[in-house]
Amino acid sequence: MEAISIEGTPKTPTVNFDTDKGFLEIKGRSIPENSIEFYKPIVDLLEKYATKPQAATNVNIQLEYFNTSSSKCILDVFKKLEGINKNGSKVMINWYYEEDDEDMLEAGEDYQAIINVPFKMVQVVD
Amino acid sequence: MVLDIYGFYDKMEQNNIMLSFKGDITSDLLTSILQIMEAKLDNFQEEPKIKKKVYNVLVECLQNLYHHMDDSTAGNDEKVRSAIFMIGKMDTYYNIITGNYIKNENIPNLKRLLDSINKLSKEELKEYYKEVLNNGEMSLKGGGGLGMIDIARKTGGKLNFDFTPVDQKYSFFSLNINVSQ
Domain ranges, residue A118? 3-124
Burial class (CB in 10 A: 0-12, 13-18, 19+), B68: buried
Average pLDDT over residues B49-72: 86
B25: nearest CA in chain A? A33
- Best of A9, A12, A69 to substitute, by most chain B Cβ atoms within 10 angstroms, is A69
Look at residue B146 and tell me whether its pLDDT is greater than 80: yes
pLDDT bin (cut points 50, 70, 90) of residue B82 is confident
B5-180 CATH, one of 3.20.20.80, 3.30.420.40, 3.60.20.10, 3.30.565.10: 3.30.565.10
Q: Look over chain B and give the mean of its residue pLDDT values, rounded to a whole number.
A: 88
Confidence of residue B79 (pLDDT cuts 50, 70, 90): low
Q: Are A69 and B142 in contact (CB under 8 A)?
A: yes
Which segments of chain A have a pLDDT < 70? none
pLDDT at B73 over 50: no
Q: Which residues from B are below 8 Å from A33, CB to CB?
A: 27, 30, 63, 66-67, 141-142
CATH number where A105 lies:
3.30.750
Give yes or no for A67 touching B (CB within 8 A).
yes
pLDDT at residue B1 in the model = 60
The residues pairing with B21 across neighbouring beta strands, listed in sequence order, are B85
Q: How confident is the model at residue B137 (pLDDT cuts 50, 70, 90)?
A: low
Cα four-point dihedral sign B57, B59, B62, B67: negative
User: B130: nearest CA in chain A?
Assistant: A110
Complete DSSP assignment for B95-124: EEEEEEEEEGGGHHHHHHHHHHHHH--HHH
- Whether B142 shows a pLDDT value over 60: the answer reads no
Q: How far apart are CA A2 and CA A48, in angstroms?
A: 9
- Is residue A61 within 8 Å of A74, Cβ to Cβ? yes
What is the count of structural domains for chain A? 1
What average pLDDT score do residues B78-97 get?
88
Q: Are B125 and B117 in contact (CB under 8 A)?
A: yes
Quote the pLDDT of residue B77: 60
Where would I find the H helices in B136-165? 146-155
The per-residue pLDDT for B140 is 47
pLDDT in tens, B96-130: 999 999 999 999 999 999 999 999 999 999 999 99
Q: Strand A23-30 and strand A14-18: pairing?
A: antiparallel
Domain spans of chain B, in order of start = 5-180
- Average pLDDT on B65-77 reads 63
The total of other beta-carbon atoms located within 10 Å of residue A37's CB is: 12
Q: DSSP code of A16? A: E
DSSP calls for B12-64: HHHTTEEEEEEE---HHHHHHHHHHHHHHHHHTT--HHHHHHHHHHHHHHHHH
Q: How many CB atoms lie within 10 A of CB B20?
A: 14
* Residue from A35, A46, A64 nearest B143 by CA: A35
Task: Tell me if residue A70 falls in helix, strand or coil.
Answer: helix
Return the closest-CA partner of residue A75 out of B115, B176, B173, B133. Answer: B133
Among the partner residues A10, A34, A102, nearest to B141 by beta-carbon distance:
A34
Q: What is the mean pLDDT of residues B152-168?
A: 95
Write down the pLDDT at residue B3. 80
Q: C-alpha distances in angstroms, A107 versus A70, A96, B117?
A: 12, 11, 18
Which among A38, A116, A113 has a CA at the least distance from the CA of A83? A116
pLDDT of residue B76: 52
